[in-house]
Structures are given as structure tokens and as C-alpha cells.
Structure 1
Amino acid sequence: MNRTRPVPKAAAWRWLPVLLLTTPMVALAHTGAVPPVGFGHGLLHPLTGLDHLLAALGVGLWATLQPGAPGRRLPVVFLSALLLGLPLGAAWPTPVAEIGVLGSVLLLGVALALLLRLPVIPNLVLVALFGLVHGHVHGTELLPGAGLSYVAGLLTGTALLTGAGYLTGRLLHRWQRIGALRYAGMALLLLGLLS
């Protein structure tokens, strides 16, 4: 009988930076090459834009640092604000929102690297602002023919990423590896600066 040895958790975490840095991710989110139409495009959009991917994962991870119910609400606040930002971006496009997207990724990176825990109201306001600027940027890309199916796909993709971040953070808490969130924050900072 051939038995394989389990990989220790600590050894697996040492490979996380290598995995993140070697994963091929091309930021295709804002090229304008393909008009966003349909559920599939909406679903894949947050996965193909590095800045949106990092922000959604970062919000989920950061939510696990916040205590109790307010922490669990942060992903919902992010998604709700993203939805509110869509019509704002469609009605009032501005390139300044892209700076807000980068700023949100960098701030989330710093918050994670410092294991920052904020009071409830500043937390909710910050995450709502992050969601609003991300929604605004997505809204500037919306075409009249994109429809509700694209928006549903976009929200689903973002929710899956935010949920993955939240689940990962909860697992880190369970395994008593909260310090790994610092590395995730540093990775967000590095990748945010490269995107």
C-alpha cells in the first residue's frame, strides 16, 4: 500500500508568494477591446482585471479581521456599493475613478499588512467607498446593450472572489495563522503597484 505524506501547513504557506508571482494574470479589465455583454462576460470580468480581483479578495480577507457581525457585513456592503456605483459610472464617466480603484487596493494591502481593525462605522464607510469606485469604473464600461445579465454576472463574479477571500481568512483564523494575512497584504501592495 503506497501512502503519501501530507504536506505540513507551514510548508504550503511558504509557496504562496511564489504561486502569486508566477500566476499569469493579464489585466484586461479596461482595454475596451471587447464590449461587455451577457452573464459570461460579467462573470469573467472581475477575474481578468487584476485590480478588481485584488480588491474583491482583499475585502473578503479584511472582513475576517473585523469582529462578529460587522465583519460579515463588509462583503455585502462592498457588493451593494459596487451596484450603486454602476449607474454613476455610466452617467458620469471620469478617469479619476481608476486612481480610486488603485488606492483601494493599496489601502486594503496596508490594512491587511498591519492587521488593522477599525471601528464599525469607518470600516463600513471605507468598504462602501471601495465598492463605489469599483462600480463606477465598471459603469463607465457599460454599453446600453450590456443589460442586466452582464450586471448579474459581474456581481456573481465579484461575490465569488470576495467570498473566497472571506473563506480563506476564516480558515487562517481557524488554523491560527492570522499572521499569513500580513503576507497577503504585502502581496496586494506589490501586485497593486504592478497592475
Structure 2
Amino acid sequence: MLSVLIMASPAAAHSGTGLPGGLAAGFTHPFSGFDHMLAMVAVGLWGAFLGRPLIVLLPVIFPAVMAIGGALGIAGVPLPPVELGIALSVLVLGAMIAGAVRPPVWLACAIVAVFAIFHGYAHGTELPSAADPIGYSLGFVLATGLLHVAGIGVGMVKDRPGGTVIVRGAGALIAACGLWFLGQAL
């Protein structure tokens, strides 16, 4: 994990130019940025840690609101520094898991939705250069959903002996990566 963090650059998935487009390119895109991958896994992991109804709500809200962020990016609506928002998403979501924070349902949904805007915006600003923006969008939404499911899968160990420690430890590692991304974004 540490070697991947050292070699990774923040927001590597958000290159902004020359996207080939299409379903396959969109599907592989979220895996090209460690920051995006960690945030997506963290959404599923936090949802699994919190249980019902958030195990379902968080992974549904994120891609839905990410699409809104994408539309804002396509439209060129100005936002605060997007890479800062993405770095904060990794840090905050990891910290929520590590700290076993159990906010009310509405607040957990709001936190995830705010960060989804930034992730979607980063993708939206890239879409106009893609040859097939619809296929590309479908691909990255599908990959995002699979990363959420992976996080849920890891989070399911919480019910096993020592599982809560494993899940919270994973959250701490995610938060540490988020701190590093934040340093790079500033």
C-alpha cells in the first residue's frame, strides 16, 4: 500500500484532455487515479460500517450526484478547487470510518453527495474531449459502482471477530492517503 501511495500522483485520473471515449475507456478511467479509487471504496466501506439504510443509500447517492457534478463540469460552472475537494473526500471519508463516526442518515448522505459533486465535476470537464461521452460516462459510473461494492465487501468483515478493527484500520489508511493527496493539492 505504501509503495503505491508513494508512486501515485494525486488526481492522476483527471487529465482533462485527449480522452478516447467509449465504454471501455470510461470503465478503466476510475482505476487510473488512486484518489478516485480510494474515495469510491471508502463510500462502500463507510456504508457497510454504518449498516442499513446507508449500506444502500451511499453507493446510490454517490453516482447519482456525481452525474450532476459531471453536468456542472460540462457546463463550465465554476467550483472551488476540484482537486482539493477530491483530496478532502479521501481524507474525510477515511476519517469517518477510522473514527467510527455514525452521523444521522441525512448528514452521511449530504457528506457523500458534496464529495460526489467534485468527483463528477472532474469527469465532466473531461467529457467534451471524449469521442463517445455517453459510453464513457456509462463506463465510469459502472466502475464507480463496482468500487463501491468492493468497499462494501471489505466492510462486511466488521461482523467477524476483530473485523471492526480491520475496517477502522482500513479507514485510517485511507485517511492517511487523503492527507497526502491534500498536501499535493495545496
Please tell me the TM-score bracket, short chain as reference.
0.7 to 0.9
User: Does residue 138 in structure 1 map to residue 123 in structure 2?
Assistant: yes
Q: What is the correspondence of 1:46-125 to structure 2 with a 5 Å cutoff?
A: 46-92=30-76, 94=78, 96-125=81-110
Q: 1:135 to 1:117 in 2, by over 3 A?
A: same
Question: Hey, what's the Cα distance between the residues in 1 that align with 2:155 and 2:85?
Answer: 24
Residue type matched to 1:180 in 2? I
| Runs of at least 5 residues in structure 1 that lack an aligned partner in the other structure | 1-19
- Cα deviation, 1:106-148, whole Å, max 9, x if unaligned, reads 1011101101111111011111111111101111111253321
Query: Does the aligned pair in 2 maintain the 1:101–1:133 contact within 8 Å?
Result: yes
Query: Does the aligned pair in 2 maintain the 1:106–1:188 contact within 8 Å?
Result: yes
Residue type matched to 1:84 in 2? I
TM-score relative to the length of structure 1? 0.82
Give the root-mean-square deviation of aligned CA atoms: 1.9
Correspondence for 1:158: 144
Structure 1 stretches (4+) deviating beyond 3 angstroms? 22-27
Question: Hey, what's the Cα distance between the residues in 2 that align with 1:36 and 1:105?
Answer: 27
Query: Does the aligned pair in 1 maintain the 2:42–2:174 contact within 8 Å?
Result: yes
- Cα deviation, 1:142-191, whole Å, max 9, x if unaligned, reads 12533210001000111111110011101332455111122111211222
Count how many residue pairs are aligned between Structure 1 and Structure 2.
Answer: 176
Residue type matched to 2:140 in 1? L
Q: Which has the larger radius of gyration?
A: 1
Query: Does the aligned pair in 2 maintain the 1:93–1:140 contact within 8 Å?
Result: no
- Structure with the largest fraction of helix: 2
| Runs of at least 5 residues in structure 2 that lack an aligned partner in the other structure | 182-186
Correspondence for 1:172: 158
Query: Does the aligned pair in 2 maintain the 1:40–1:153 contact within 8 Å?
Result: yes
Identity %: 36
